[in-house]
Structures are given as structure tokens and as C-alpha cells.
Structure 1
Amino acid sequence: MPLLVPPAPPPALVSVLAALSSPSAVLEARTPALRAAEGPLTPEHPLPVHVFEPAAVPGGLPQARLTGWRFHIRSGELVAAAGETVLTPDGWVFSRFSEGPFLTSTERALRQADLLPTAYQPHLLSVPGLYMLALWLHSDPRADAATAQPDPLDLLVPLAPAPPGITSHRVHRLVDLASVLSVRLVPPPLAGSPA
């Protein structure tokens, strides 16, 4: 069933379009594929980016905090880079261009999710403490992307590279993987202190 991609805030898209039309922004980007791209560059697949926050109580659902929007920048048939925006007190602004393994892994996970029998709303879920990014498939495909929160029916697809012990591109129930992530994010006790 097709994914229902939420619309990005118009100022976020405008900020990426402005960066793409700025020769200095593209030339200064640390993305060789973007600098070498020929022809028009088009932002597509806007995905809200959220940061994973472990559940406040054991066994509870984690929280997700919207931090930005990521657009895939297409040059012909190739996805050359991602254009990222962040929310500031003045609104949505362009942050940076990026490329790397998470970009191709996101494309793969989107294709994988598009084959699922149920419609989902795709988001990116960042777990900075584990250097992990996952495609979060929200079970309410018509939810407001800015305020969406994890639901027991949601799915997570870890992107490659995934942390040790977590298989990338395997579809997980959010509640199952979130409990593993929450445990891993708890710092170990200091040596010599009571556990």
C-alpha cells in the first residue's frame, strides 16, 4: 500500500529551494555527488525528522520531538544528497546538505515500506546516543507530522549502518525495538558504585 508522505511546511521547502539556487551553497556543500550533479536539482520525499526520547516510565511508549525536515535532492535518476532544514524561533531555515550511507538506506527503506499491506506515514527517527537513524512508519497516515507521537501499532525500520545487534532493514514493531533502544541509552553504573 502506498506511503502517505506528509506535506512539508512551505517555508522548509522554500529554504531548500533557495539553497539549491545558490551556487555558493551548492559549491560549499561537503557532498561531492551534489557538486558534480548535472541538470536540475529537485527536492522530493520530504520526511519529518524526530529525535527519539525514551519512555518516562518503564514499559511506556517513547516520545518523539520534531527537529527538522529532510528532502532528498534528485538529479535525474540519482538521489545526489539530502537537504535538511531546522526549526528556529524565526521559522524553518535551511541547515545543510548531506550524503552518505543513510541516504541510500532511506531510499531502500522507503521502497521496502511501500510494499507493506497497510498505509503508513513515513518519518525519520534519530537516536543520537546510538548514532542510529530509522524509518518510523506511523500507523495514522493522516496525522499531523509535527505533533505525531509513537503508537503501539507503529513500525521501525533501522537504516544502515545500524548499531551492533540491530539488523538494518528489518521491520520491527516500534514497541519492541523502543524497549531495546531505551535500555541501551541508559548509562552503565560507575565502577565501584552500587548497581
Structure 2
Amino acid sequence: MPLHFPAAPAPALRSVLTALGSPTAVQEARTPSLRSAQGPATPELPLPVHVLDRITPEGMSGTRLAGWRFLIRCGDRAVAAADTMLTPDGWAFSHFFEGPYISSTERALQQAEALQQAYQPRLLSLPGLYMLTLWLHGDRSADGTEGHPQDSDLLVPLAPAPPGIAAHRPHPVAELLPVLTHRITAAPLLITPA
């Protein structure tokens, strides 16, 4: 089923297009693949980036919108990504970057396209676990900037995932939440001297 990408704010997209058109911004970016790309670079697949700051034994806190991420495509593949952030003056370009999450995001989106149900894709960051997931929200018409994961939504951990959590395997939130809760709330291991 097709994914239903939420519409990114026009100023966020404009800020990325402006940065892509600026030789200074591209040359100063720490993205060798973007600097050496042949042909036009285009921002695609806008994803709202949500952050989940707390998971307690009682469940998740709400998420907060941290920005919008655009995959930057040159030719037939994504070579980098561009993040935007909300400032007091509105949406602004933040930075370009590359690394394993670019290809991992692309792969997870391709996997999601093959699912039987249509979803609204988002990114969900769990800083406490150093984990980023593709969040497939079941309500395709929802405002992509709000909400929190529902039990029936799917989370697809992106590679590299934390040890013991399989990357690129869709997990219903209700299935993955207990694992994440245990990871975050587990008491630190105390080692006593012999």
C-alpha cells in the first residue's frame, strides 16, 4: 500500500532548497557524498522527526516535534539528508548529514511500501536508547506534527539499532514498548568487589 507522507511546512522545504542552492552551505557540509554528487540534488520524502523523551513503567510520555527531515536524492539514490528546525522566526535549515541512517531510512520506507496497510511515515527518536525508528502511524490523515505512537502503529528500528533489537523488522508498538520500557527503566547493574 502506498505511504501517505504528511505535507512539510513550505518554509522548511524552501530553507532546504536555499541551502542546496548555496555553494557555501554545500561545501561546508560534512557530507562528502553531497559535495561530490553529480547532477541535481533534490529534497524528497519529508518526514516529521518526533522525539520521545521518556518511557516509564506506566508507558510513554507524549512526543515532541523536533523538526523535518528530507532525504537528498542525486540520481537513483539518497546521498544525504537535510534537517530543519523551528526557530522563533519560523522553519529554518539546520544541517546536512550522511551516514548509516540515510540508507536505513530508504530501506525501511521501501519495506513499508510493501505492507498490506497504508501508513503515514514519521521518524521517532528515542535518545535514551540512542535509537531511531521509522514510525508508521495508522491514521494516514492525521496531522503529522502531533500525536504519540498508538498500540497498533508500527515501529521499524533503523540500523544501527541497539543490541538485541532487530533493525528493519516492523514491530507493533504494543509489542516493542515493553522491551523499550525494560531497557530504559532497568536498574543499573551493581558490581561488588570480591
Q: Aligned pair 1:23/2:23, yes or no?
A: yes
**For residue 69 of structure 2, what is the aligned residue in structure 1?**
70
Q: Is the 8 A contact 2:85 2:91 kept in 1?
A: yes
Q: Is the 8 A contact 2:131 2:158 kept in 1?
A: yes
**For residue 140 of structure 1, what is the aligned residue in structure 2?**
139
**For residue 160 of structure 1, what is the aligned residue in structure 2?**
159
CA distance in 2: counterparts of 1:67 and 1:187, whole angstroms:
27
Q: Which amino acid aligns with 2:69?
A: R
Q: Cα deviation per residue 1:86-143 (whole Å; 9 max; x = unaligned)?
A: 1122211111101111110000000000011111000011111221110000010110
CA distance in 2: counterparts of 1:68 and 1:187, whole angstroms:
30
- TM-score for the superposition, normalised by structure 1: 0.92
Which sections of structure 2, spanning at least 5 residues, go unmatched?
Answer: none
The total of aligned residue pairs comes to: 191
Q: Which amino acid aligns with 2:105?
A: T
CA distance in 2: counterparts of 1:172 and 1:162, whole angstroms:
13
Deviates more, 1:171-180 or 1:111-120: 171-180
Q: Structure 1 runs of 4+ off > 6 angstroms? A: none
Q: Aligned pair 1:42/2:42, yes or no?
A: yes
Q: Is the 8 A contact 1:85 1:96 kept in 2?
A: yes
CA distance in 2: counterparts of 1:55 and 1:161, whole angstroms:
21
Deviation at 1:180, TM superposition (A): 1.6
CA distance change for structure 1 residues 56 and 165 in 2, over 3 Å: closer, same or farther?
closer
Deviation at 1:190, TM superposition (A): 8.1
* 1:48 counterpart SS class: strand
Q: Is the 8 A contact 2:33 2:80 kept in 1?
A: yes
Q: Cα deviation per residue 1:46-76 (whole Å; 9 max; x = unaligned)?
A: 0000112334561x34422110100011111
- Identity score, percent: 60
CA distance in 1: counterparts of 2:139 and 2:60, whole angstroms:
16
Map 1:1-195; keep pairs closer than 5 Å.
1-55=1-55, 58=58, 60-186=59-185, 188-189=187-188, 191=190
CA distance change for structure 1 residues 87 and 182 in 2, over 3 Å: closer, same or farther?
farther
CA distance change for structure 1 residues 189 and 40 in 2, over 3 Å: closer, same or farther?
closer
CA distance in 1: counterparts of 2:180 and 2:94, whole angstroms:
27
* 1:106 counterpart SS class: helix
| C-alpha RMSD of matched pairs (Å) | 1.6
Which sections of structure 1, spanning at least 5 residues, go unmatched?
Answer: none
- TM-score for the superposition, normalised by structure 2: 0.92
